[in-house]
Structure 1
Amino acid sequence: MNKNETNIKPAMKAHEVIGIRSIKVIIIILLISFIYIGFNYQCVNTVEGLVIDKLQQGLDGEEEYGIVIREEDGSEQLIKNSEYVNIVKVKNKSESKSLQDGIEKGKKYRFKVRGLSITDFKQYPNLISYTLTNDEIREQMKVQNEQSMKNKKIAEELVAQELNIDKKYIQFVNTFNDEKWIHKNLSCTIKTNSKEYHVEFNTDKIENSINQGMYQPTTINKFIVK
């Protein structure tokens, strides 16, 4: 009887040791996983690139959004634009869609992303916000300025035709910044040698490569003597 007991006890002890070690390994793996997930979603990076594609996929009846960009070195990155929850903020589906809708293919953006880049898959876990790059902003301002100058000349010609006078006798009383001259509801006050007028224009949207929602005057809608 004593002999059997001495044979069983070492086996039980070995089994217990293996079980305890297995539990410890599982706990360590879980802790590492939780730490990585927590750090991943608290880590915020900035990445810059040209948007080459916008993704919208259905997964189990749910919409998933994503942005594919090309960085300066030619590498491509996928920025996932999905819902997330952490101790700081909750990002819901409507916010994801709003971010997605505001981004345009063919433009360069500076993206703020949450999470670490997954090297093998070339992707960032989540998009937080974005802004145009300085180069893109300068290009937009250049296009706006050029269109504003063009719109002023068109408006001047339309008024000259309406009054049947030479353009040199027309003076714009209220001076606008360039952005005002590309709006859909374009109006201005002009002055001739003898009178002052309030002019409202009909406009058409301009289709261009930068697609800034610019408009140009086509005809006069209202011509009011002040």
Structure 2
Amino acid sequence: GANITIPYKQDFIPLINKLSPLAERLHSVNTIKNVNGAFEGYNTDYAGIALTFELKNWQVKDKQAYILGSGGASLAIAHYLSDQGAQSVTIVSRSVGQKNGPWKYIDYAELKKHSGDFLVNCTPIGMYPDVDASPVDETVIAQFNYLFDMTYNPAVTKFLGIGNSLGKDTVNGLDMLVGQAIRSVEIWEERTFTQDEVLSILNYFRENWNGAK
């Protein structure tokens, strides 16, 4: 099997012979399993997102969420937030005309007029080597309570650093990265990791990951 990363999670779909129901609903594939020469496509980002929210004990029901970026990862978290009963999910995109799904789309200029509970960065802005960049500035970040940056290199991006300085509850994408990888291995090897095994793997990476160069 293999993993697929940005920006190919949607582009790869025409090459897949069979999509899992979740991958088809999300229109995003990040895991491929070779079954007798045929490609099966799965989405394990959803599982990584769910694990991140569970470990943070973040409650989504009736909350307002804004997602930066409109690629495959943003669709996965938009579905997750909607499935968990979010009051509203808004996707912030530079291409608001290219809508994919039932959510409201706004551009970055419009975002400055909004506030909410969750602000999720699904763009690569701020990832190494572009470590001095943030997808939004402090005035926007101040309008939200919970920050989730799906990037994980560096461990604390400028986006999260600003949030930390403002006393926001923050998390990077490491738990999601490891969580989706665990789910991918479960698919490839047709096995299930116990909760203790999952936490042991996560703790290993948390203790040893400071961001690659």
Question: What range is the shorter-chain TM-score in?
Answer: under 0.3
Q: TM-score, normalised by structure 1?
A: 0.22
TM-score w.r.t. length of structure 2: 0.23
Q: Max radius of gyration: which structure?
A: 1
Which one has a larger percent strand, Structure 1 or Structure 2? 1
